[in-house]
Amino acid sequence: MLAWLNANTGLVSGVASAVSAFAAAVVMCATIATVTLNRRLAKENRTLRKTEGDPQVVAYATINPRVWAAIDFVIANIGKGPARNVTYTVLSGAESLTKKEARLFPSGVKFAFLPSGEQLSSTMGMGWDLLSEPALPPFEVELTYENLAGEQRCAKFSVDVNQFNGMYRLGTPNDELIAQNLKKIADVMEGWSRGRLQVETMSVSERKEYDAEIRQFMQECGAQQD
């Protein structure tokens, strides 16, 4: 083996050079890949940090939590940053909204500030009116708003109230129970007033004089009996 290597020194040197060149190419490719990956990660981190502080405003329909069978139109900020100059436009379905007398926010109004986690809601109407035949078809709205840096955002949403068709509620919310019990108390108190409940008021001094007269009367009665 040693004799063969000594006899083929040129070949061995060429193979060694080729291996070194290949290894250098592999290292260079790995370095380029690492640099590219680091740049991409840095860019994604910057985008993520920027997104975490950006608002995200959405529009949808939901059941009113306080009024049974009422349906609300909601504009909510589900992002982590506040939104400024929030406005909306009905892109399609405006005629159906008018026919159903659905109540939305005034068109063209800009809401100056919508904090993170807050929402704006307007009762569109009662479910039995909006879902009666022909039911209100889905309508599309476009939201426009800005972040604190003044960068404008725009998004489109399809709002459909038909998703609540056939939904029923079990039980009674606590606020309704409280209202019912207060009404019962008011009815009882009104019955007192109709029954002309006699209530007499007397001051402390008047009460003392009254007690003194009663004692004097009792004493006179006792003296007459003796």
User: Phi and psi for 118 in degrees, rounded to 5?
Assistant: -100, 165
Across the chain, what does the average pLDDT equal? 81
Quickly state the pLDDT bin for 106 (edges 50, 70, 90).
confident
Largest CA distance in the chain: 161
Task: Report how far residue 133's alpha carbon sits from residue 176's, in angstroms, rounded to the nearest whole number.
Answer: 30
Which has the higher per-residue pLDDT, 140 or 217?
Answer: 140
Residue 88 has pLDDT above 80, yes or no: yes
Predicted TM-score (pTM) of the model is: 0.58
Multiple choice CATH, 57-164, 3.40.50, 3.30.450, 2.60.40, 2.10.260: 2.60.40
Task: Report how far residue 201's alpha carbon sits from residue 207's, in angstroms, rounded to the nearest whole number.
Answer: 10
Domain residue extents for the chain: 2-51, 57-164, 174-225
Q: What is the pLDDT of residues 155-212, one digit of tens each?
A: 999 999 999 987 666 566 666 777 778 888 887 777 766 655 555 556 667 777 777 7
110 in Cβ contact with 86 (< 8 Å): yes
Q: How far is CA 28 from the centre of its chain?
A: 52
The CA dihedral of 140, 141, 142, 145, to the nearest 10 degrees, is: -150
